[in-house]
Structure 1
Amino acid sequence: MAIQFGTYYTLIFAAVVLLVGKFLVQRIRWLREFNIPEPVAGGLVAALISWGLNATTGVQPSFDTSLQTAFMLVFFSSIGLSANFAKLREGGMGLIVFLLVVMVFIVVQNSVGVALASALGLDPLIGLIAGSITLVGGHGTAGAWGEVLENQHGIRGAITLGIACATFGLVIGGLIGGPLAKALIQRNDLRGPQGDGTHGALEAGTPNFEFPHKTRLITADATIETLALFAGCLAFAEFMTHFTAGTAVQLPTFVWALGGGVLIRNALDYVFNFEVFDRAIDVFGNAGLSIYLAIALLSLKLWELAGLAGPLVIILGVQTLVMAAYAGFITFRVMGRNYDAAVLCAGHCGFGMGATPTAVANMQAITNQYGASHKAFLIVPMVGAFFIDLVNAVAIQVFIKFFG
């Protein structure tokens, strides 16, 4: 028996999830020590409650996912609106190097998935479903490519498998990023800018999302202006999604939302000389991120994950170990073996197994404890939200061509 909760109830439950997560992280020491993001902590409790209801009564709670999509678009719009060209230049060579590191990882992830699927007697394309299609790509890519694999390559249940794998990745990405970064920081005796393990001061020019619990002073006028900017980003994203549908430049809606934010922000900065109120964008972006993650985990159906075939569980388990090892040994070393590199590893685990919002939440958990990492917060959102989808689409097509 399914129980459908509408928009308002979904928002109420999401707020409760965030409050529970905050309470748990404040009260349970190991959650703080392992830097588990608050939405992940609260979301897993909600998922366990849903699983308990389903196991004992057969009830299947279902929530309005339109809100999840809307807040995801708000989050990506806030990334674009905070990225003027001056900030993008700050990313510099580090952004290019990190993108190359991530590109290599996509090849590794898909190679592992295909090899294990073949060794376990499965269609190699199922290895792609348990590879970058779902782990780097997330739920949206899982649905899109699942339909292609079902209709064109005869992989039965590809969409269901994809959604389950993407959900697994979303949870695992939020669980391994913080502990890995913490281990790297402690093992290499690294220090953030403050060097004392406390929250850093909120300085001018600090990238959005870096200190989500800091107080931001905003006004009603700034709030209205910022809402208008977000509406412009979402309108642009909706228009471009429909306009480019079926063409060579078709991209996910959230990529257009981010791109629209970049265009609007820089047009206001350099054409109209209008000062954008970054603190308001920061508040909306953090709120969108938290609510998106809360609803995503609130909607997690553990009974569907429990039904995954044994071989697929093995593949996903190995992919988790590969992600942690790659981030710890490759990403960390290539990016400089310093504090910024450790925070970048937390972010890489987030979108390498789950989604960019998970990556940002992972990095927030680290910077809240150890201090700011401007470089990581400039690089990860841009690579994880924009470039990675383009690279991933090409990689998936190449692998399907060879193994399809």
Structure 2
Amino acid sequence: MLTFDAIATLGVATLVLIIGYYLQQHISFLRRYNLPTPVIGGLVIALLLLLGQQLFDYRVKFDNSARTPLMLAFFTSLGFAASLRLLKIGGRFVLIFLALSIIAAILQNVVGATAAHLMGLPALFGVLCGSVTLTGGPATGLAFAPQFEQAGIAGAEAIAVAAAMCGIIMGGVFGGPIGTWLLTRLQRDGKAMSASSPTSVLDKLHHSLNSHSDTHLLSCFGLIIMAMWLGSWVSAGFIALGLTLPAYIGAMIVAAILRNLNDYYRIAPVNPETVDTIGSVALAYFLALSLMTLELAKLSTVAIPILVLISIQVVLIATISAVFVFRYMGKDYEAAVTATGFYGFMMGTTANAMANMEAFVRRYSPAPRAYLVVPIVGAFFIDFANTFIVQLCLVWLR
């Protein structure tokens, strides 16, 4: 057996990211559907380790002690995205979009749990292939995997990654056709294929995102560490109250509070883009560490159920996007772009959502309202709400 210490394990994770980036750049399918580079590289390494174990009985042991801090850092960076000032800029559309997202996440679990039960599987299996990995993405799926393991779902990590991967692919495959169908309806009805008032909203958003242009990387990194530290006390308080929540919840709450206090009092120079960059780095290494140690052999017995559940979720989210999101977001060009973004992040990740919307913006015209509403909900608010939805499912369906 070959053993890697913590530093060596991070070194291997770096190779995973390099491999993933190279494959994404040279394989059009991976690039077209926005598959994350750590997911690509991590699965390649996991497959190689599986082959080495099966063919040569050769095993490798990694030190994953850095995984939890990296996970906390990523979700803390999401907490810093919860700006009430941005929420005010988006107005009622943000609230409507958030409400639709929460309802969709709940329905994902209801439909998933029901379908899993009909297939003779635990209801929590359907939840794991529902909002945990689709609305939440691979990071949320891996963060919740230990709780699902404790609840009786064997191989929860591998299942979560498989479901998330399928969701990301579907989020890229069908997002475009949904938006195209909606735009065809608008053209048939003679409606404009452009946003009504792009300038005012874009100016406000640009000012909000760049109001701290003199930000230093050190201050942003320090605030993330501070939020993680204070958040550990908040999480300990939840445990003392008998509440079992993911470890990152406390840090997310503290980060959101610090972000809004800073927006109001200007305590320290904080650039949201810098915080997002730090969070992206933490996420990349967290996913790489998680995926390169996956036990893929556990997927052999559940591959077909996962595909069935994901197919059902595609129909559900496509219907909600094309009917309800389009209707309640205004039934105009902006609403059509928002709908394709909604499908992207409810099935995959925010990256899917942005890629789906960008395809229409490049061809037609800017959609500033969609570019404000979709990221702010997809980057934080839905993750926070989804955490509590999943936690309730773990309590009720255990």
TM over 0.5: yes
**1:182 counterpart residue number:** 176
Q: 2:264 aligns with which of 264, 270, 273?
A: 270
Task: Tell me how far 1:332 sits from its aligned partner.
Answer: 4.0
In structure 2, the residue corresponding to 1:316 is in which secondary structure?
Answer: helix
CA separation in 2, counterparts of 1:123 and 1:73?
29
Whole-angstrom distance in 2 between the partners of 1:207 and 1:341: 24
Alignment partner of 2:147 out of 144, 148, 156: 144
CA spacing shift, 1:328–1:119, aligned 2, 3 Å:
closer
| Residue 36 (structure 1) aligns with | 35
Partner of 1:15: 14
Q: Following the alignment from structure 1 to structure 2, what is the Cα–Cα distance between the partners of residues 94 and 66?
A: 42
Deviation of the 1:99 alpha carbon: 4.1
- Contact 1:106 1:395 (C-alpha < 8 Å) held by counterparts: no
Q: Is 1:241 paired with 2:239? A: no
Distance 1:268 1:237, change over 3 A: same
TM-score (norm 2): 0.77
1:321 maps to 311
Alignment match of 2:384 (pick from 383, 386, 391): 386
CA distance in 1, matches of 2:47, 2:260: 44
Deviation of the 1:365 alpha carbon? 4.6
Quick one: which amino acid aligns to residue 236 of structure 1? L
Matched, 1:305 2:304: no
Mark the CA change 1:120 to 1:252 in structure 2 (over 3 Å): closer, same or farther: closer
Name 1:204's counterpart in structure 2. 206
**Alpha-carbon contact 1:182-1:366 (below 8 Å) kept:** yes
Number of the residue aligned with 2:72 = 73
- Quote the offset at 1:239 in angstroms: 1.3
Residue 24 of structure 2 is aligned to residue 25 of structure 1? yes
CA distance in 2: counterparts of 1:27 and 1:385, whole angstroms: 32
TM-score of the pair, normalised by structure 1: 0.76
Q: CA deviation at 1:106?
A: 4.5
Cα distance change of structure 1 residues 66 and 326 upon mapping to structure 2, 3 Å threshold: farther
Spell out the pairing of 1:282-293 with structure 2 (5 A cutoff): 282-293=276-287
Fraction of identical pairs, as percent = 24
Is 1:324–1:349's contact at 8 Å kept on the other side of the alignment?
Answer: yes
1:353 maps to which residue?
none
Letter in 1 for 2:288: A
Q: State the match for 1:212 in structure 2.
A: none
Residues 113 and 36 of structure 1, relative CA distance in 2, 3 Å threshold: closer
For structure 2, the residue ranges without an aligned partner over 5 or more in a row are 185-192, 196-201, 327-334, 362-367
Q: Which ranges in structure 1 are unaligned for 5 or more consecutive residues? A: 150-157, 194-199, 209-216, 351-358
More divergent stretch after superposition (161-170 vs 375-384):
161-170
Q: Distance in 1 between matches of 2:393 and 2:93?
A: 22
- The whole-number CA distance in structure 2 between the counterparts of 1:73 and 1:297 is 17
Partner of 1:280: 274
Q: Which residue matches 2:187?
A: none
Is the contact between residue 346 and residue 363 of structure 1 (CA under 8 Å) also seen in structure 2? yes
Q: 1:303: Cα distance to partner?
A: 1.6
| Mapped contact 1:134–1:141 kept (Cα < 8 A) | no
Q: Select which of 307, 316, 321 maps to 1:331.
A: 321
* Aligned residue in 2 for 1:172: 166
Asked if residue 377 in structure 1 is aligned to residue 375 in structure 2, the reply is yes
**Stretch of structure 1 that moved more, 277-286 or 110-119:** 110-119
Aligned length: 362
> How far, CA to CA, are the matches of 1:293 and 1:279 in structure 2?
21
State the shift of 1:229 in Å.
Answer: 0.3
Alignment of 1:215-226 (within 5 A): 222-226=216-220
